[in-house]
Amino acid sequence: AQRVTQPEKLLSVFKGAPVELKCNYSYSGSPELFWYVQYSRQRLQLLLRHISRESIKGFTADLNKGETSFHLKKPFAQEEDSAMYYCALTPSGGYQKVTFGTGTKLQVIP
């Protein structure tokens, strides 16, 4: 069975401070990991995929297979980063099941 854990329901940081949103997963095979963001009253949007190793809006995430983690990081938080963030996992190359974590609400304090 695959599982995604986001241990923090709420993360509050001051503007300009570093951000790290934690995501841990369990899956016996080769996973693909994603981060999605949901701004207030908007639909979920894909933020980034581990396979592309890209940086979107200053966010990065590195897949650590040893620690089974995919934490989302940003060096300097902005007010517009306040949103719900969801980590998601799917089997590599497959769609049989896409599992989301319970989400972390990021609150950036001005």
Partner 1 sequence: EAQVTQNPRYLITVTGKKLTVTCSQNMNHEYMSWYRQDPGLGLRQIYYSMNVEVTDKGDVPEGYKVSRKEKRNFPLILESPSPNQTSLYFCASSRRTDHTIANYGYTFGSGTRLTVV
Residues binding partner 1: number (CB under 8 A): 27
Residue 49 binds to partner 1 (criterion: CB under 8 A):
yes
Question: Whose structure tokens read 């989400």?
Answer: 103
Q: Alpha-carbon distance 101 to 84, whole Å?
A: 11
- Shortest gap between Cβ of 65 and partner 1 (angstroms)? 16
Beta carbon of residue 67, minimum distance to partner 1 (angstroms, whole number): 21
Check residue 65 for interaction with partner 1 (CB under 8 A). Answer: no
* Gyration radius (Cα) of the chain, Å: 13
Site residues (CB under 8 A) for partner 1?
6, 9, 32, 34, 36, 42-46, 49, 51-52, 86, 90, 92-103
